[in-house]
A and B are shown apart, each in its own frame.
Chain A
């Protein structure tokens, strides 16, 4: 473990900027959002999570896969993004979100576009000393302090950051700017432990994950799906802000004799998601809502060795204009 004084954070990140593209949480008006490092806007003491996860950097909302010419010739050009990138300030919920996406896109069939971005990206986490109203990572077990999926992990100890090393790549970043860091003492580590316990007491949203897991298979005909789905205004916001939602559409966009094959995020809450030429296999909103919850809490764990497709970040609760609340739904499922 290392110590980095807060006044050395910007020099450290700017130092990384010589070799990497550096992204970090920035104050943007009322919001905190990830962006390109700008030390005048850098958010280090924000509570809870940035409005959006850093998913965009490894799985962009819209991505050009390859371009081909339509003149019958075999001219296909693939577009792999191999930008060397460091992301600082990733909350534990979002670290888990990236770990989850890794599992989906880097297992079985390895997605070359995702792999190109991800294998060139270093993740620097930032533990949460306080939860927001909608946060429920402590119920899922992904936070408020991270245990895995980071290259370096920062904990705010007041005047300094405690820095835990999670990988060789992370260790190398420290070694390159070793003069900025000092060694941590057992007292620092103890203080982090106290902060974690304090942080856990700030949560206001809870679910009983064990009960959800035990009961969800039997809840498919629960009235909760139709009741909650009736409120939905079909904006898809819950999917767009979700750090683990990985579904996408593929489209060919043609201009002149060139076509770009692009993929972009899709939303299982919209009817078009399952629309085929002759029929729609998920015709009601209740079925679509159930699919979103089941995919995260039943189907994904079944397919990916128990890993849940929810980070507990609560962004879908914050974003929903109709007040559909995943924690409320899960509490209904559990009972």
Chain B
């Protein structure tokens, strides 16, 4: 059981909820890795899997950034501060962290797909010296759908780090790049051999960014992405997220492109 301690309008139709467990001992022992998710219950409505957008370095609370797109998420958007929600988890494998220390990191995110990436980016910036250049490419359909504006500004100001933004459909005030997020890739200058790319966003974006990265010379193992599948149980039983012998809720949602190709299902 958790209390909603803060509700923040993140972008159009997207809110960030800050939650704290009701029981202090659970809050204290609740640990997670970026890329993991929780099953969130809106009481009286139902349960849905939501990726964690806060970072484990931020102790004492949990942030979930949620677009109102289904039954549970729409109901969650009507919840206010001090309301109660149910949480179980964390589930899933999470992003690699220690394994990619010393490397250049390239993040490519689209829309609310940036939610799990934010968790990892903030953890990396907490240990910034452990990583070489960090490039963050982020896009949304329109300026009003860009999430984490304050974070993006802070990351962009950090040494040896860059943030490039783009939108598909600009408004009158937009001065930045126009086009899909892949159109930002030619603008970055990194040594690809020593780079790991993390991609997260809608399936169509992931599909095209994967092709772009392979063309740039990335190896399949250097590309990390997340799979979105219907999930019910979170513990590898209910069968919905099964792909090959893997269950996305147990063996994912984070996979390298190489692993995805071995799973065999179209992505």
Quick one: CB contact mask for B191-203 with A, threshold 8 Å, 1 for yes? Answer: 0000000000011
B245 — which chain A residues lie within 8 A by C-beta? 298-299, 302-303
- Does the CB pair A254–B233 fall under 8 Å? no
Given contacts A279-B203, A302-B245, contact A259 B44 (CB under 8 A): yes
In angstroms, how far is the closest chain A Cβ from the Cβ of B113?
Answer: 11
A274 — which chain B residues lie within 8 A by C-beta? 229-230, 240
How long is the Cα–Cα vector from A291 to B240 in the complex, in angstroms?
11
How long is the Cα–Cα vector from A181 to B264 in the complex, in angstroms?
55
- Does the CB pair B237–A111 fall under 8 Å? yes
B69 — which chain A residues lie within 8 A by C-beta? 277-278
Q: Which of A254, A263, A276, A302 contacts B44 (CB 8 A)?
A: A254
Q: Which residue of A lies closest to B1 (CB)?
A: A74
Quick one: CB contact mask for B209-240 with A, threshold 8 Å, 1 for yes? Answer: 00000000000000000001110110111111
- Does the CB pair A249–B237 fall under 8 Å? no
- Does the CB pair A247–B238 fall under 8 Å? yes
Quick one: CB contact mask for B169-182 with A, threshold 8 Å, 1 for yes? Answer: 00000000000000
Q: Which residue of A lies closest to B235 (CB)?
A: A109
- Does the CB pair A268–B239 fall under 8 Å? yes
The interface size bin for chain B is: 20 to 34
- Does the CB pair B228–A250 fall under 8 Å? no
Check B41 for interface membership: any CB of A closer than 8 A: yes
B84 — which chain A residues lie within 8 A by C-beta? 72
A153-211 contacts to B, CB under 8 A, are none
A36 — which chain B residues lie within 8 A by C-beta? none
B1 — which chain A residues lie within 8 A by C-beta? 74
How long is the Cα–Cα vector from A302 to B244 in the complex, in angstroms?
9
Tell me the dominant secondary structure on chain B's binding face: loop
A249 — which chain B residues lie within 8 A by C-beta? 232, 238, 240
Q: Which residue of B lies closest to A274 (CB)?
A: B230
Tell me the dominant secondary structure on chain A's binding face: mixed
B228 — which chain A residues lie within 8 A by C-beta? 276, 279, 281
- Does the CB pair A250–B233 fall under 8 Å? yes
Check B20 for interface membership: any CB of A closer than 8 A: no
B265 — which chain A residues lie within 8 A by C-beta? 281
B237 — which chain A residues lie within 8 A by C-beta? 104-105, 109, 111, 246, 248
Check B93 for interface membership: any CB of A closer than 8 A: no
In angstroms, how far is the closest chain B Cβ from the Cβ of A249?
Answer: 6
Check A68 for interface membership: any CB of B closer than 8 A: yes
- Does the CB pair B70–A246 fall under 8 Å? no
How long is the Cα–Cα vector from A225 to B178 in the complex, in angstroms?
42
Check B60 for interface membership: any CB of A closer than 8 A: no
Q: Which residue of B lies closest to A268 (CB)?
A: B239
Check A295 for interface membership: any CB of B closer than 8 A: yes
B41 — which chain A residues lie within 8 A by C-beta? 252
- Does the CB pair A252–B238 fall under 8 Å? no
Check B45 for interface membership: any CB of A closer than 8 A: yes
B44 — which chain A residues lie within 8 A by C-beta? 70, 252, 254, 259
- Does the CB pair B232–A273 fall under 8 Å? no
B73 — which chain A residues lie within 8 A by C-beta? 277
In angstroms, how far is the closest chain A Cβ from the Cβ of B103?
Answer: 31
How long is the Cα–Cα vector from A302 to B245 in the complex, in angstroms?
6
A303 — which chain B residues lie within 8 A by C-beta? 245
Given contacts A74-B1, A259-B43, contact A278 B238 (CB under 8 A): no
Check A220 for interface membership: any CB of B closer than 8 A: yes
In angstroms, how far is the closest chain B Cβ from the Cβ of A43?
Answer: 32
Most chain A beta-carbon contacts within 10 A, residue among B70, B239, B264: B239
Check B28 for interface membership: any CB of A closer than 8 A: no
B229-263 contacts to A, CB under 8 A, are 229-230, 232-233, 235-240, 242, 244-245
How long is the Cα–Cα vector from A227 to B50 in the complex, in angstroms?
38
Check A275 for interface membership: any CB of B closer than 8 A: yes
27 pairs, CB–CB < 8 Å, chain A vs chain B? A68-B43, A70-B44, A72-B83, A72-B84, A74-B1, A108-B236, A109-B237, A111-B237, A220-B264, A246-B237, A247-B238, A248-B232, A248-B238, A249-B240, A252-B41, A259-B44, A266-B239, A268-B239, A273-B230, A274-B230, A276-B228, A277-B73, A279-B203, A281-B228, A281-B265, A295-B239, A298-B244
B interface list, Cβ under 8 A from A = 1, 22, 41, 43-47, 69-70, 73, 83-84, 202-203, 228-230, 232-233, 235-240, 242, 244-245, 264-265
Other A-B contacts than A247-B238, A291-B242, 19 sampled, CB-CB below 8 A, are A104-B237, A108-B235, A109-B235, A249-B240, A250-B233, A252-B41, A252-B44, A254-B45, A261-B47, A273-B230, A273-B240, A274-B230, A274-B240, A275-B230, A277-B73, A278-B202, A281-B228, A295-B239, A302-B245
A interface list, Cβ under 8 A from B = 68, 70, 72, 74, 104-105, 108-109, 111, 220, 246-252, 254, 259, 261, 263, 266, 268, 273-279, 281, 291, 294-295, 298-299, 302-303
* CB-CB nearest 6 A-B residue pairs: A247-B239, A302-B245, A277-B70, A277-B69, A109-B235, A70-B43
